Amino acid sequence: MHDTITTYSENIHDIAVNTFEITCYMFPLEEWELEDAGDIEQPNGSIRALVEFDGAAEGAMVIAPTENLADAIAQNMLGVDEVQVSDREGALCEIANIVCGNTVPIFAKDENICYIRPPRIVNTDENPDEMFSHMRKEETTVNLDEGTVDITIYYKAD
Amino acid sequence: MGFNVLIVDDCSAMRFVIKEVLKRTGTPLKEVIEAADGKEALEWVRVIPFDLIITDLNMPNMTGAEFIAHLRVLPQTQRIPIITVSAESNTNRLEVISSLTAGFVHKPFRTEELREEMLSILRN
């Protein structure tokens, strides 16, 4: 069981790194960079995107970046220095959609169809841990050169 | 003279990226219209004769798959080339969608991949 859990987290981490590299031109910090960086700002949940999925696998993914990273995602995708809140939310939702779309097949057995629902921003009064308390949970953190993002996936086990 | 292209994606940042890639094909463009979902896109196809439609699959109100299905039954739209750009990974579902479209680009994509896909259609 432990091996399976490790694989899920590692897979999600790799998918997220690939997505950020290709879509936002952001790169993961090397171990020595992490050591040199000292205290790295952690996501505080002020902006989070949620994608639910059902069908062959049921669950949800939450992506929570630091404020700086949320800005940088939109800036890099749009190629501008100043972004509006709507740009920031839209860009984060798109990243969540891509990471989730590439992750869900890991949970959907035998190539059965899984439906990814449109991503949305999590309201400040919503608590995904409570919303999906009946599901299993996996977490990973990705440290990028422009900030840190926490990714949580909730899924129903067989 | 130029091509009419419709870009359908619920994310404005992604529509921007796709539009930028489209400009980099160097092909002459006439109207480049953006729509946030299949429902809005269907309204556009009734008024503009598009040469190419680039659509996401996972969208609110009307998904890309539903939008494509509508296009393929309308006489005036059934021959418009469509490129789907999506994070969808299920091979069975993609096979069905691919049978109705001219190309598929998997998200995350490198801009060169999308550019090549666009060029292969616009050049013909």
Phi, psi dihedral angles at B6 (to 5 degrees): -110, 125
Q: pLDDT tens digits for chain A (158 residues)?
A: 445 555 788 999 999 999 999 999 999 998 888 887 778 889 999 999 999 999 888 999 999 999 999 999 999 999 899 999 999 999 999 999 999 999 998 887 766 788 899 999 999 999 999 999 999 999 999 999 999 999 999 999 76
Please name the amino acid found at residue A32. W
pLDDT digits (tens, 9 = 90+) for B44-95: 999 999 999 999 999 999 999 999 999 999 999 999 999 999 998 877 788 8
pLDDT at A108: 79
Q: Do B90 and A23 touch (CB under 8 A)?
A: no
Cβ atoms of A21 and A146 within 8 Å: the answer is no
CA distance B78 to A79: 35
B-chain CB neighbours of A111 within 8 Å are: 90-92
Strand partners, A9: none
CA distance A31 to A52: 32
The kind and range of the H/E element at A59 are strand A59-65
ipTM of model: 0.86
A-chain CB neighbours of B58 within 8 Å are: 97, 101, 116-118
- Whether the CB of B10 is below 8 Å from some CB of chain A: the reply is yes
- Which of these, B26, B67, B63, B65, lies nearest to B50 by C-alpha position? B67
Cβ atoms of A156 and A137 within 8 Å: the answer is no
pLDDT at A1: 46
Match 């801009």 to its residue by tokens.
B111
Q: Do B93 and A77 touch (CB under 8 A)?
A: no
pLDDT at A6: 56
CA distance B124 to chain A (A): 28
Burial class (CB in 10 A: 0-12, 13-18, 19+), A10: exposed
Mention every residue, 6+ apart, whose C-beta is less than 8 A from residue A64: A43, A45, A47, A48, A149, A150, A151, A152
Strand partners, A60: A52, A154
CA distance B28 to chain A (A): 23
- Which of these, B30, B29, B28, B35, lies nearest to B8 by C-alpha position? B35
Q: Do A18 and B10 touch (CB under 8 A)?
A: no
CA distance A45 to B21: 33
Neighbours of A126 (CB within 10 A): 12
Closest residue, chain A, to B61 (C-alpha): A118
Match 């129903």 to its residue by tokens.
A156
Mention every residue, 6+ apart, whose C-beta is less than 8 A from residue B73: none
The pTM is what? 0.90
Q: Do B12 and A118 touch (CB under 8 A)?
A: no
Nearest to A97 among B87, B92, B110 (CB): B87
pLDDT at B96: 86
The kind and range of the H/E element at A73 are helix A67-78
CA distance A27 to A8: 21
Closest residue, chain A, to B113 (C-alpha): A22
- B residues 15-34 lying closer than 8 A (beta carbon) to A: 16-17, 20
pLDDT at A37: 75
